[in-house]
Structure 1
Amino acid sequence: MCISKLNEDKCKNINRKKLGRAVRGMLTRAKVERRLVCGLLPAIAYLEKSPEEVLFCVIPETRPGDAATHMQTVLLQAFCYENYIPVIQVDSSDKLSRFCGLADSKKGCNCAIIKRDISLPPTPEDDIPLSPTEQVLADFYECTLEEFPRPVIELPI
Structure 2
Amino acid sequence: MPGRPSRARGGRAGHNASVNADSQRVVPSDAGSVAARLAVPAGILAAVVGAFAYVGAVDPNQPGHYPACPLLRYAGVYCPGCGGLRSAHAFVHGDLAGALTDNALAVAAYAVFAVVWTVWVVRSLRGRPLRIELGPLHLWSLGALLLVFTVVRNLPFGGRLHP
User: Which TM bucket (shorter chain)?
Assistant: under 0.3
Which is helix-richer, 1 or 2?
A: 2
Normalised by the length of structure 1, the TM-score is 0.25
**Larger RCO: Structure 1 or Structure 2 (Cα < 8 Å, ≥ 6 residues apart)?**
1
More strand by share: 1
